Amino acid sequence: MGRLSGKTAIITGAGQGLGLAIAELFAKEGANVVGTGRHVDKVEKAFAAIKAEHPDYEMNAMQHDVASKEEWEKVAADTAAKYGGINIVVNNAAIMAMKGILDASAEEFLNVYKTNCLSVLLSVQAVVPYMEKAGGGSIVNIDSIGGLTSGDADGGDATYSASKGGTRALTKNAAIQLAAKNIRVNTIHPGGILTPMLKSVYEATPALWDRVKVTCPLPPHVSDPIDIANGALFLASDESRTVTGSELVMDCGYMAH
């Protein structure tokens, strides 16, 4: 029996990278998976490729702008109607502006904030009634070490860090306020995740890779998507039934300095 058998999970930003890895792992562990994305065709294509190899996986895609209250309410209602309830939400969708504190415009700041932080508030408001009916649930917010610390003096995305810091605080508030409903809320703070794009950057810039090995001392120095997905699985499952308001840092030792 899978670790999520009988549970239904909504995963945002599920069309690629970490979101897709979480969706596939949760389906493997027996969950009914609803993966959402602003470009739903990308999610559908990615899920179809997985289901071609694993036809027993329950994976469905839904159109979703996570910054929209109305779309959150529709995704929650449609998911509950299809599967009878909602047990797990993973707020993974995020964007970056790559702007320093002196360069970011108000428009850019608000755009990043809406996708990365406001979306978490909207998710809670949309899914909690269904989780409460189910007797409880787990909300896992994919944050970042950017929500715990700043970038370097010569760089860093001020808008992204601010949004992730907001998500961190919002998670702790939600954890306290929803505990009586048996709804747990936790964050994961990844460091670097080795996507194909990041791998190509390291291959083209060996000096950058050397720097990463110093600042993130634990091999493999950056995580694969499945590493972070395994953390999400723990927080989503009943194995973490006493864990709420916690921060799971998965950064190969960066924050240990």
Q: Among all residues, which ones are annotated catalytic? A: 160
**Closest to 8 measured CA to CA, from 133, 94, 125, 118:** 133
CB burial of 163-190 (b: ≥16 within 10 Å; e: otherwise) equals: bbbbbbebbbebbeebeeeebbbbbbbb
Q: Are 245 and 171 in contact (CB under 8 A)?
A: yes
> Residue 136: CB partners within 8 Å, gap ≥ 6?
87, 181, 182, 183, 184
CA–CA gap between residue 25 and residue 4 (Å, rounded): 10
CA–CA gap between residue 58 and residue 227 (Å, rounded): 22
> Residue 52: CB partners within 8 Å, gap ≥ 6?
none
Residue indicated by tokens 């950017």: 146
Reported in sequence order, the residue ranges of 71-135 that DSSP labels E, i.e. its strands, are 88-91
Read off the tokens for 254: 């960066």
